[in-house]
Structure 1
Amino acid sequence: MKPLFAILFLLCFSFCDVNAQDFKVSYDKKDLKAVIQKIEQHFEVRFSYNNSILEHQKFSYSGTIDVDLFLLEIEIQNRIASEYIDRKNIILKGKDKTNPSYILDEVQIVSEYLTSGFDQNKEDGSIILNPTQMGVLPGLVEPDVLQSLQLLPGVSSPTESATNLHIRGGTPDQNLVLWDGIKMYHQGHLFGMISAFNPYITDRVNIYRSGASAKYGNRISGIIDMHSSDDILEKTSVGVGSNLLNADAYIKLLVIKDKLGLVVSSRRSLTDVFNSITYQQLGNKVFQNTKIEDINTQTREEELTVLKDQFYFVDFNAKTTWKINDKNRINFSSLFVRNELDYANSTFEGETSNDKLDLKNSGFSLQTDHSVSQNLKLSSNINYSDYQSDNSLIETTPVDSESYNRTNSVKDFGVSFQSELSFSPSKKLLLGLEYNDYNVNSLIDFPEGSLEDEIENNSLNAINVFGEYRYTSKKWFVNSGLRVSRYGKLNKTFFEPRFYMNYNINPHFKFKSSGEIKNQAISQLITFEFNELGLHNNVWALADNDDIPILSNYQLTTGFLFDKNNWKLDIEGYYRYTEGLTTSTRGFNSNAITDSYFSGKSSAYGIDILIKKRIKRFRTWLSYSLSKTLFNFGDLQNGNFAGNFDQRHVISFSNTYKLKRFQFSLGWHFATGKPFSTPSGIGTFTNENNETESFLEYGSQNNTRLVSYHKLDGSILYDFKLGKHKNTKARIGVSFLNIYNHTNQIDRFFNINSDNSEISEERIIGLRTTPNVVFRVTF
């Protein structure tokens, strides 16, 4: 509790300085340009704008004001939108189509899809997340990139993790996750409870639930495309911070003015040096019903001794931006993500057991951009991703020792070339060529004489050609494209048409629709060979035209968007159909069947609804998803049955409020329970060694549901300044997950007890009340 008391003390201390930070003004129809100059001088920020948007504009306000409140007021009073380049540089844009500067916007943005930092691309309908501008969100003490997406309708995490995102009936391995063009095969820390991407150097995240561009390929579900900043700052800035799980630091370095910039960030967990209440709660959720929980219980009963219990995570990012001249730019990005667990125990008889798990994902990308002319732009990208999962178990006795090992690696190399030709401001043509090379290796090494080792080394290359045509007018936006993929080793060619359109019925009401076909050649399988930790049982595998088919999917959507008087209503219905599923893929719960192999398909349909209202500094929104996901595995069970992660109703009700330097957020989340299979009895069979073994028998799949899930989350942030000249920004905050400590069941499994006579039940419980605090400074 000491860190919490320190935060509270600092909060109380900072109250004494509030009045010194306030900027009290009194303007009555004052010339807006003159007001902007006063704001620039007092807060040491700089506004960039076209003078035409300030002509004849007046501003009225009386009271205490800060930069964020000023931006909100000019948006309401003058229809002027704002965009942060960084915390010191802000762009102002006209929002009214009668304003001549309106056409300067290269990408049309609808501000505040949810709250500050959540925008929407007015053309292709994608959601744009700006973590550095993001307001406070329920239960988050810092802007976690992947956790934030769960506030969007159609995006959910039935397992309560940040990385296991299910987008409109898809599974997590079916999502394409990119960091500066690098494909991410491992995206989380603490076994998925938090995302592995530092939000303070993440400049922009584009999220597609549907209607994706033809340039995106080899995944059949959602797309999460993350970018760090390409801008070269005017001066160096540094940020450091810590919460009860990790500490981080970054530096945005100006090397050569207007030419060369460098960004470096690093984050490391505190879990191996500080057993905070946050880590305890997350650990209780992650390690429940595993060997670690069992051993800890036995340790309390003095049957076992824990020799080692070490877990930590780290991530590192670096980016170099070189602006050669006005027509040429080069960006080089690299990252490294690692999670490591080392757990050992012993008995009084001298038997020891040591489990190790090491997860890594590293990579780099090289991006070049060249403007041939005002109407023709060329770009190229070279990217590489290296994923490695190593899991080992060593068991020793006074006379013998045995070891088990399992590794899974993915090496993904890609190169692409792209051109964008503008025939006119309303007509654009995108053409591209992409080459991908995949190498996936798996090894399961059993003790000598027990089981035969399993070794699998696969490679696959693909050549992709894509193109799309975009047409924009006052009423229409149409994006039609085609992606053609040729997989050499499989000797297969796939055609993937893409289509998205929206039509402005009037300035406040828009109709939209999309259709797309996608294919996927790499996916995850689930295994349970020897890992008693119950962690990371999924392995990446390539399609082989045999046991692992290529996943194929098509999706259709239609809906409308209404935006007027700070009200927003977004409704979109969808249907998606997927072929190529197997009982060994992540899309099916292999706990519910025998070792037999079956193939199948799935269909998902639903409607996503967002209702939002903004009243000055108060935002409230309700997101609701009504959906149904069905599986069809004809050889396993006749007819359709509910998918493993089918949740018919998912509701999020969120509220945020800003009061001077405080930000408050409170949100309630509800979801119907996901289905699971209950066994009908215990069966037996004779194995190859003429021994009798038992197995669970199931009459039907996913025939029961968990009880409904609900929780209340909240957060409070406070921003202030430090130093003699008040040029150091600081933030403290506190958050709580599951405030009323509700017991949520998020999964249920069944096993046969040791004497093969009874069926035992294991329940996975979600997070109980979990607090966290943060302290950050930026200078």
Structure 2
Amino acid sequence: MQHKISKQAFVSVLAIFFFFGFSVLGQTEEKKPLYAVIQQLEQKYDIRFSYVPEEIAPIFVTLSKETESLPVILKQLNNQTPLQFTLLDDRYVTVVSPLRQSKLCGRIMDAQTGKPLEGANIITETNRFSTTSSAEGFFTLSEEISNNTSITISFIGYYPMKISVEQLKADCPIILLQPETAVLDEVVIQTFLVQGISKKTNGSIAINTENFGLVPGQVENDVLQISQALPGVESADETISNINIRGGTHDENLLLWDDIKMYQSGHFFGLISAFNPDLTKQVTVYKNGTPPRFGESVSGVIDMRSKNRVSEEFAGGVGVNLINASAFIDIPLSKKASVQVSGRHSLSFLETPVYNTYSERIFQDTEITNLENPGTETKINAEEDFSFYDFSTKLLWDVSEKDALRVNFLTIDNSLDFTESISGANQSKTSELQQRSLVGGISWKRNWSERFETTAMVYGSYYLLNATNKDLFTTQQLFQENEVLEDGAKIDSRYNISEKINVQSGYQFSEIGIGNTQDVNIPRFRVYNKEVLRSHSVFSNLTYTPNQQNTVINAGARLSYFSKFNELLVEPRLSVHQKLGNGFSVDVQGEFKSQSTTQRIDFQSDFLGIEKRRWVLANNEDVPILESKQASVGLGYQKNKWLVSLEGFYKTVNGITTSNQGFQNQFQFVKARGSYSAKGLEFVFNRKTKRFSAWISYLLMKNDYEFESLIPSAFPNNIDIRHAATVAGSYSLNDLKLALGINWHSGKPYTTPIPGNEITVTNGQPSIQYASPNTERLPDYFRADFSAEYIWGISDAVDAKINIAVLNLLNRKNTLNIRYALDTDKDGENRVNQVEEISLGLTPNVSVQVLF
């Protein structure tokens, strides 16, 4: 028998089905992504989960709605996932995968905000192992590290923390770093190019050498060489004694070592940094928006700092490469005091291939190689005996919990003996050149409270360059000397008005004396000139962060009074960083700056033609005070390990002279005052992964002179490099690092003699007749560089670091400069000789360093 079901009964049965169905679904939710569940739990229970996003991304879970107890929920998550959820306290929950449970790990977070810290440095006491924290603050250590080993965790703007490896045996414990509330440093916003280079919200670039990656061509962490990897920072002649920041000359930069101005920057007359990389730990480069506490520069600022924390354990190292040997030690004297000592000395007696290549590069366009008279019939033999060294020491004494005393000393020396002799004749002469710097300072820092601190410092900086040039064919001797002495005092104060407002103010006094001597015995001639200038400067800067670093405003001014001229200069400074959301940000910067010390070149043969520049002091007559103005706007994007930056700038510098620009054409002996303007675009593209970083940087710039008294009055700057680009990459795998890069830029301008009418004679004196200034261009510059580094753990306490670097991997011949000089042929007729300055050739170098 068939039974018919009425429509009403069917609806009733269907209603009952849905009722029971929803009742069951009400007891158990559908599966949800674990990431979404964690976010809901964080909001509901006001807790924080520490996890690696990649580990939880593919996991889905099901939770009961009626469950209210957090421990019960965590138990369900433990049962449904391969992860281990552990409630550390009433605030934090760690999430660890089985792959990481067997390793030593931790998570670094801000103690105040609870946010993870990306890029924190984790270094073992033996320096055998180092790593950085991930975007979520995680880090892992090798299980081979001994339990009694201690590690130091540091992050810019936070107090460092020292813990033992034993403490990491828990389930990835959370390590809370306390912000340095007394000192509100500019916040780091991104890792730039390679590990150890970061960009700050005030537009500056910070280079931290303690856990640095690798830059192509570097056998050591030469900070002045590394700075040239930054966009807008170039060297027109490959040397670190001629760094050009946004079209400025090297003397327009302020170089500071532990807050003391340096008047010498290089060894080997510019090919090697004079600052020992073993103790130079932190470098900050400013291209614009410079804080008002920095004066005496119209271009960039390179602020170099040695380690400033009292060491608790002994550390040191010895090393050697094909140029020099070095050593450093860091000795704890007590719990409150330690001393750092470092030194380097050249290995010129070995005459390695690198030494010979460097010698050819430096001495090629000098009196030593006699390039201006290549056709001379007299055979002249030349021998040079060159050496350099540097030595530095620093005493660190934390007198009390609130007081810290620091004493610094540094000496740098270059020495050259040049002996000429005539083949077949018993006749020889030895010329000498010496370049030396001595600097020292004492500083006292006091934290009066958590909000207020002061720093007082007295310092001295001395520079000496002298040369004795003896003529081989006569008894004539020329003595030249350039001497600089600066002493001064600085007082800084910093006050945190609130978490959002910080004020830094201070006073600076300096007295600079510069002397120049020229003494010739035949015919008897002596000129000595000395200038002294005192300046008083006050400055103040306000840092305002209204919305948790989304907006960072630095605004301030510097007032400098020169008593000798009764002149007051007002220099406003501004830097604004604004996050726009979705990874985008915008930066606006501007500054007025001034400078009273410059370098001039009188003759190309000064100081044997090797170090032709001499320091001079403003006198407000033929040597004015330089003044600059600059503005820039930049747009940045940083998200998911991608970084893109585009910045446009415009800079003008007034008060330059033809003497300090180093003209080698019709304006070489003309005295004129003028200005230059540089405008351009800087572009950076950077992609990073855990082990690999690749970047492309490009600079487009137009740099022109304006001299009203010259004809023509406007023409390209001597260092007007219109296009410059770098393509590079670095790779790291455990203890091995590799880096490869290509540097290219268009040729700088130079001036040629008028074709067919090269020589003109006036009153019996011949001279070169030049065409329009700087209308010709050198060939494009191209260089490929390679670096490799390997750290070998000899024992728990001793490591060996091996570096290999090759400059100009393809051995390309690059022309760095072309100039012209008058000489005579074998018949005594005047002729014009073209002198070319050629770049370094293929230059391999190897470094071995033992660290303990």
Name 1:374's counterpart in structure 2: 450
- Residue 224 of structure 2 aligns to a residue whose secondary structure is helix
Question: Which of the pair is proportionally richer in strand?
Answer: 1
Q: What is the alpha-carbon distance in structure 2 between the residues aligned to residue 580 and residue 527 of structure 1?
A: 18
- Relative distance call for 1:302 and 1:631 in structure 2 (3 A) is closer
Name 2:347's counterpart in structure 1: 270
- Relative distance call for 1:76 and 1:427 in structure 2 (3 A) is closer
Structure 1, unmatched stretches of 5+, are: 1-25, 58-65, 687-691
- Residue 350 of structure 2 aligns to a residue whose secondary structure is coil
- Relative distance call for 1:682 and 1:240 in structure 2 (3 A) is same
Q: What is the alpha-carbon distance in structure 1 between the residues aligned to residue 116 and residue 590 of structure 2?
A: 45
After TM superposition, list the pairs within 5 Å mapping 1:161-180 onto structure 2: 161-180=239-258
Q: What is the alpha-carbon distance in structure 2 between the residues aligned to residue 287 and residue 236 of structure 1?
A: 42
Measured after TM superposition, the shift of residue 756 of structure 1 is: 5.2
Q: What is the alpha-carbon distance in structure 2 between the residues aligned to residue 717 and residue 148 of structure 1?
A: 16
Q: Quick one: which amino acid aligns to residue 109 of structure 1?
A: V
Name 2:402's counterpart in structure 1: 327
CA contact (8 A) 1:735 1:771 kept: yes
Measured after TM superposition, the shift of residue 456 of structure 1 is: 0.6
- Does residue 610 (structure 1) correspond to residue 684 (structure 2)? The answer is yes
- Residue 256 of structure 1 aligns to a residue whose secondary structure is coil
Q: What is the alpha-carbon distance in structure 1 between the residues aligned to residue 196 and residue 326 of structure 2?
A: 21
- Residue 289 of structure 2 aligns to a residue whose secondary structure is coil
- Does residue 699 (structure 1) correspond to residue 771 (structure 2)? The answer is yes
CA contact (8 A) 1:93 1:102 kept: no
Name 1:360's counterpart in structure 2: 436
Q: What is the alpha-carbon distance in structure 1 between the residues aligned to residue 334 and residue 129 of structure 2?
A: 34
After TM superposition, list the pairs within 5 Å mapping 1:281-320 onto structure 2: 281-294=357-370, 303-306=379-382, 308-320=383-395
- Residue 736 of structure 1 aligns to a residue whose secondary structure is strand
Name 2:508's counterpart in structure 1: 434
Higher deviation after alignment, 672-681 or 295-304: 295-304
CA contact (8 A) 1:33 1:54 kept: no
Q: Quick one: which amino acid aligns to residue 303 of structure 1?
A: K
Q: 2:537 aligns with which of 438, 446, 464?
A: 464
- Relative distance call for 1:648 and 1:678 in structure 2 (3 A) is same
Name 2:486's counterpart in structure 1: 412
Name 1:494's counterpart in structure 2: 569
- Does residue 722 (structure 1) correspond to residue 797 (structure 2)? The answer is no
- Residue 357 of structure 2 aligns to a residue whose secondary structure is helix
Name 1:684's counterpart in structure 2: 761
- Does residue 596 (structure 1) correspond to residue 670 (structure 2)? The answer is yes
Q: 1:217 aligns with which of 269, 277, 295?
A: 295
After TM superposition, list the pairs within 5 Å mapping 1:38-57 onto structure 2: none
CA contact (8 A) 1:150 1:157 kept: yes
- Does residue 713 (structure 1) correspond to residue 785 (structure 2)? The answer is yes
- Does residue 732 (structure 1) correspond to residue 807 (structure 2)? The answer is no
Q: Quick one: which amino acid aligns to residue 628 of structure 1?
A: K
Measured after TM superposition, the shift of residue 396 of structure 1 is: 5.8
Q: Quick one: which amino acid aligns to residue 90 of structure 1?
A: I
- Does residue 746 (structure 1) correspond to residue 816 (structure 2)? The answer is yes
CA contact (8 A) 2:108 2:177 kept: no
CA-to-partner distance for each residue in 1:504-563, whole Å, 9 max, x for gaps? 112621111111111111100002175483211111001111111111110001112211
Measured after TM superposition, the shift of residue 467 of structure 1 is: 1.0
- Relative distance call for 1:179 and 1:42 in structure 2 (3 A) is farther
Q: Quick one: which amino acid aligns to residue 114 of structure 1?
A: L
Q: What is the alpha-carbon distance in structure 2 between the residues aligned to residue 532 and residue 376 of structure 1?
A: 49
Q: 2:134 aligns with which of 67, 75, 79?
A: 75
CA contact (8 A) 1:80 1:93 kept: no
CA contact (8 A) 1:407 1:443 kept: yes
Measured after TM superposition, the shift of residue 290 of structure 1 is: 2.4
Q: 2:837 aligns with which of 747, 764, 768?
A: 764
Measured after TM superposition, the shift of residue 634 of structure 1 is: 2.1
- Relative distance call for 1:287 and 1:409 in structure 2 (3 A) is same
Measured after TM superposition, the shift of residue 746 of structure 1 is: 0.6
- Relative distance call for 1:775 and 1:290 in structure 2 (3 A) is same
After TM superposition, list the pairs within 5 Å mapping 1:115-134 onto structure 2: 115-121=194-200, 123-134=201-212
Matched-pair identity in %: 28
Q: Quick one: which amino acid aligns to residue 274 of structure 2?
A: A
Q: Quick one: which amino acid aligns to residue 778 of structure 1?
A: L
CA-to-partner distance for each residue in 1:696-719, whole Å, 9 max, x for gaps? 122311010001000110011111
Q: What is the alpha-carbon distance in structure 2 between the residues aligned to residue 488 and residue 46 of structure 1?
A: 58
Q: What is the alpha-carbon distance in structure 1 between the residues aligned to residue 666 and residue 221 of structure 2?
A: 37
CA contact (8 A) 2:421 2:472 kept: no
Name 2:193's counterpart in structure 1: 114
CA contact (8 A) 2:193 2:686 kept: yes
Q: Quick one: which amino acid aligns to residue 693 of structure 2?
A: R
Q: What is the alpha-carbon distance in structure 1 between the residues aligned to residue 569 and residue 116 of structure 2?
A: 57
Higher deviation after alignment, 367-376 or 314-323: 367-376
Q: Quick one: which amino acid aligns to residue 704 of structure 2?
A: L
- Relative distance call for 1:201 and 1:33 in structure 2 (3 A) is farther
CA-to-partner distance for each residue in 1:31-56, whole Å, 9 max, x for gaps? 798989x999999x999866799999
Higher deviation after alignment, 289-298 or 319-328: 289-298
Q: Quick one: which amino acid aligns to residue 455 of structure 1?
A: Y
Measured after TM superposition, the shift of residue 29 of structure 1 is: 4.3
CA contact (8 A) 2:109 2:176 kept: no
CA contact (8 A) 1:81 1:94 kept: no
Q: What is the alpha-carbon distance in structure 1 between the residues aligned to residue 813 and residue 228 of structure 2?
A: 20
Q: 2:706 aligns with which of 632, 643, 647?
A: 632
CA-to-partner distance for each residue in 1:430-467, whole Å, 9 max, x for gaps? 221111100000001112326x3221111010011111
CA contact (8 A) 1:47 1:91 kept: no
Q: What is the alpha-carbon distance in structure 1 between the residues aligned to residue 314 and residue 101 of structure 2?
A: 19
Name 1:533's counterpart in structure 2: 608
Q: What is the alpha-carbon distance in structure 2 between the residues aligned to residue 94 and residue 366 of structure 1?
A: 24
Q: Quick one: which amino acid aligns to residue 241 of structure 1?
A: G
Measured after TM superposition, the shift of residue 394 of structure 1 is: 2.3
Name 2:629's counterpart in structure 1: 554
Q: What is the alpha-carbon distance in structure 2 between the residues aligned to residue 531 and residue 709 of structure 1?
A: 28
Q: What is the alpha-carbon distance in structure 2 between the residues aligned to residue 353 and residue 276 of structure 1?
A: 26
Name 2:230's counterpart in structure 1: 152
TM-score under structure 1 length normalisation: 0.87
Measured after TM superposition, the shift of residue 376 of structure 1 is: 1.3
CA-to-partner distance for each residue in 1:122-147, whole Å, 9 max, x for gaps? x3121110122211210111111100
Q: 1:89 aligns with which of 124, 140, 152?
A: 152
- Does residue 236 (structure 1) correspond to residue 314 (structure 2)? The answer is yes
Q: Quick one: which amino acid aligns to residue 226 of structure 2?
A: S
CA-to-partner distance for each residue in 1:477-524, whole Å, 9 max, x for gaps? 111111111111122111111111111112621111111111111100
- Relative distance call for 1:742 and 1:530 in structure 2 (3 A) is closer
Q: Quick one: which amino acid aligns to residue 120 of structure 1?
A: K
CA-to-partner distance for each residue in 1:643-696, whole Å, 9 max, x for gaps? 00011111011100012221110000100000001122212223xxxxx21111
Measured after TM superposition, the shift of residue 279 of structure 1 is: 0.9
Q: What is the alpha-carbon distance in structure 2 between the residues aligned to residue 88 and residue 769 of structure 1?
A: 41
- Residue 147 of structure 1 aligns to a residue whose secondary structure is helix
Q: Quick one: which amino acid aligns to residue 112 of structure 1?
A: T
Name 2:218's counterpart in structure 1: 140
CA contact (8 A) 2:128 2:798 kept: no
CA contact (8 A) 2:238 2:839 kept: yes
Q: What is the alpha-carbon distance in structure 2 between the residues aligned to residue 445 and residue 35 of structure 1?
A: 76
Q: Quick one: which amino acid aligns to residue 253 of structure 1?
A: I
Q: What is the alpha-carbon distance in structure 1 between the residues aligned to residue 371 and residue 103 of structure 2?
A: 60
